[in-house]
Structure 1
Amino acid sequence: MTAASAAHSLTRDQARRMIVRAQLLDARRPGDVVEVAEQLGYIKIDPTATIAPCEHTMLWSRIGWSYEAGQLQKAVEIDRLLFELDGTFRPMSLLPLLLPAMRQHPRRESSRQWLEANAKFRRDVLARLRAEGPLTASEIPDTAAVARKDDGWYGPNQVPQMLEMLSRRGEVAVVRREGRHRVWDLAERVFPQDLPEYSLEEAERLLAERRLQAAGIAKQKGPCTPVGMAGEPATVEGSKWRFRVDPEALATLDDEDEGGRVAFLNPYDSLLFDRPRLEEVFEFRYVLEQFKPKSQRVYGYFAHPILLGDRFAGMLDAEVDRKREVLEVTAIHEFADFEPEEMEMVRAEIADLAEWLGVAVEEAR
């Protein structure tokens, strides 16, 4: 079907099922970390660990009990099948598609001016890494001629900002982490050097296809999931949106439905990123309460949405207490009363989560 052809007509159930499958949250679990990254396109890094950091909960919610944190570290630092960029782990197969745009960074005029004013500082950082790398930011002297205003994230030291800038330009890269601290080196010593070359236009087209692959179905003109004219046109019952659908996701609609499962999603999980699509297709308005005053929270500081099959059924408010070695379950919020077997599934998933974390379950009374 071409872009000019009649759009595929989908039910809301079909659209949800395609999204859940594309996000690897159906009953058929993926086998390993790289498979997840290749399908989703990225794994978000966030240190908030009421239960576990985002990168680990994203992988556990998909792979399940066999996932161990060391598997991610091995894929990034030893096998070099994933790489870190801009707060995410991404599959190395995406790097050639990202490089054409990276080479044009920065596009903001103020950032260009800062980089130009600090040309010597940039050369100093690259020379230090070339001679002594890999290094943490604290091991590199700050020789900036012009400082950026402290925005509360970086502090007065300009080295972290320069390293971020150079990483987005593809000149330096994170080689490993020591705790939460990044260790940097020249990109040429971290990334493969035999990557295919693409024009900016071709790379953007292929990136749109990869985004649609991860989405299953997405709004044709949506800022959260920019897919452009990738895939094929589609409509969803009850929605006035124009959608694009991944042909491979369409092909799975006739597959035998193996049933759904329960998944607890970290608030920064990729499925939750496109808030408008969540509301339009899943009829789920998600609000992260992390930055709300306690008195205004309904579900909890860092409550995890509960996906039950292909619908959002509630919120899990829980937190790990490492000193007491327990997973404290403050509340299981139900949007509508769970059926007994649904509650049994949710509690079984909580038990599995606690076992994965190596703690016991403790429910609030």
Structure 2
Amino acid sequence: MGLTSNNVVMLSVVASVLLFGTTVWLWPRLARRGVAAVFGRIGILLVTQVSLFAALGLFANQSFGFYGSWSDLFGTETTPGVVVNHDAAGNTRVQVTDIRKMNITGNSSPAVAGRIEKVTIKGPQSGLGSQAYVYLPPEYFRPEYSRRDFPATLVLTGYPGTTEALINGLKYPQNAHKLVKDGRMQPMVLVMLRPTVAPPRDTECMDVPGGPQTETFFTQDVPTAVEGHYRVGKRARNWGVIGNSTGGYCALKMAMRHPETFSAAAGLSPSYKSPIDATTGDLFGGSKRLERENDLMWRLDHLPAPPVSLLVSSSEHGEKNYNDTVKFIEKVKEVNGRGEPTRISSIILKSGGHNFNTWKREVPSALEWLGGRLSDR
């Protein structure tokens, strides 16, 4: 059973409850004096507390997506990425490695429920590769849509994050299916990844001087690979990007820096510039110019505003980015007032922390917003 599966979490909860009951039941027998009784009390308390912490930890991991597998948890996952060979022209850039059926009201037919494909995406421009999940809506499999190219959205986790959390935690495919069924959104393909394509380093979706070319991977390699394998549009107006936390910053930045690739971006609880800490290392190679260019506030003040639509989210109580988000909104409104083409929308909650609970409340509205700004033509 997988680390993030419901069965593992439920089994741990049941085990902790049974051990607690066993402790209560056996305690009178262990209340006697003597070395054996003392060690018995210590042992049963230790086992019960470990089981309780394990249950809480497994539940938290499933909710927040810290680790995606047992090997990830215990540090035995040693593969840093996918090796990309450049010796064959036209080498397949998307390889499907698994198919996950969706079950909607008891029907798992792709034409009714859609389908999720686990894929490996190779990036010849960046030299990077990554596993991803691609959600194909039911319409993708229906004959009347067979000649249609679908809009596509790149969906990113936070750092470190797991791609599975986008499916099991934030439920992007399930939300997309319901929105289309309710007539609130056009069908679109979702390409779900984590921004950590050079683990364990947090590259903040940058082309690091002398390091991983993450920005090139997401803005050139991924769209090109997906366009070559699936029926999706090939223009910026066909592509959007959305993410939470670090993924939210990446989404906004990549749309602002690459309007030729993305026409709309949604940042849920984003930051507005790259941090420098132990997880990132030196992202800029000592270049102040590069550091400024990756500061979204600075870009609005000093560079022409790009023709993109942006959505940002925060909450008045619980989010540290609230003041920066208000400032960012005002800056975009200011440049828009001067006739520049950037557009801004927002989701501001009364309260909500920097967590999955908050993002679950924002994902449906953000997806609906994205769907309204992308074209299938």
TM-score when scaled to structure 2? 0.24
TM-score when scaled to structure 1? 0.25
